[in-house]
């Protein structure tokens, strides 16, 4: 059954994330402002004082295109960004999967039984804005250290291997669905 409103979807999604991230060192922020756009949810994984990994989520009942446009902004400060569509309206987003691949934005679905699936996990990428990374890490790093992932953000290579958060989400990837299955939907 589909959600009636985005608020309803958001609340359920929040509870889902909280249970998923229990006993981890990941913090959850709702509608984080002051960066570029306002992600519905921002997950920040920290290791002591350093920010290790950032994931942003944009929730939409059906407007995948608007979600994609907003989500791209979050790539400026996030390791990964996902657009999460109400599963009842997912088909249109899947039909336009190529745009998610093109802009390297993840695609997932969520329903009112709290079933969450990822259909496209974005490729490895570093947040593209040095300014916003610094701003974010200044906010979260207690000692105001301007580094991210323990390395110089201008020259580092992103690695997923050490991120507990990324590993949790990868495990939720819908195994049956891949790029080759695109036309089957």
The helix/strand/coil state of 174 is coil
By CB under 8 A, tell whether 69 contacts other proteins. Answer: yes
Give whichever of 1 and 154 is closer to other proteins, judged by the CB atom. Answer: 154
- Chain position carrying tokens 């593209």: 128
Q: Which stretch binds other proteins (CB under 8 A): 14-22, 54-62, 102-110, 163-171?
A: 102-110
Cβ contacts of residue 42 below 8 Å, gap of 6+?
28, 29, 32, 54, 55, 56, 57, 78
Which of 23, 143, 154, 155 contacts other proteins by CB under 8 A?
A: 154
Place of tokens 């991120």: 163
Which DSSP category does 180 fall into? G
Handedness of CA 45, 47, 49, 52 (dihedral sign): negative
78 binds other proteins (CB under 8 A): no
Other C-beta atoms closer than 10 Å to the C-beta of 51 total: 22
Q: Looking at 53, 60, 75, 117, which residue binds other proteins (CB under 8 A)?
A: 75
Among the listed ranges 42-50, 53-61, 86-94, 125-133, the one in contact with other proteins (CB under 8 A) is 125-133
| CB 5, min distance to other proteins, A | 24
- Binding residues (CB under 8 A) for other proteins: these are 36, 68-70, 72-73, 75-76, 102-104, 128-132, 154
């Amino acid at each position: 059954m589909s959600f009636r409103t985005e608020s309803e979807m958001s609340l359920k999604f929040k509870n889902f994330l909280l249970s998923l991230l229990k006993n981890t060192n990941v913090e959850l922020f709702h509608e984080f402002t002051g960066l570029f756009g306002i992600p519905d949810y921002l997950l920040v994984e920290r290791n002591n004082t350093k920010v290790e990994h950032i994931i942003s989520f944009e929730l939409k009942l059906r407007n995948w295109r608007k979600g994609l446009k907003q989500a791209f902004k979050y790539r400026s400060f996030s390791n990964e960004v996902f657009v999460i569509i109400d599963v009842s309206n997912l088909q249109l987003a899947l039909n336009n999967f190529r745009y998610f691949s093109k802009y390297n934005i993840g695609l997932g679905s969520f329903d009112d039984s709290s079933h969450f699936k990822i259909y496209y996990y974005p490729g490895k990428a570093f947040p593209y804005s040095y300014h916003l990374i610094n701003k974010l890490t200044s906010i979260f790093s207690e000692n105001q250290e301007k580094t991210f992932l323990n390395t110089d953000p201008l020259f580092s290579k992103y690695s997923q291997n050490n991120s507990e958060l990324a590993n949790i989400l990868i495990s939720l990837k819908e195994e049956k669905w891949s790029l080759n299955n695109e036309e089957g939907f």
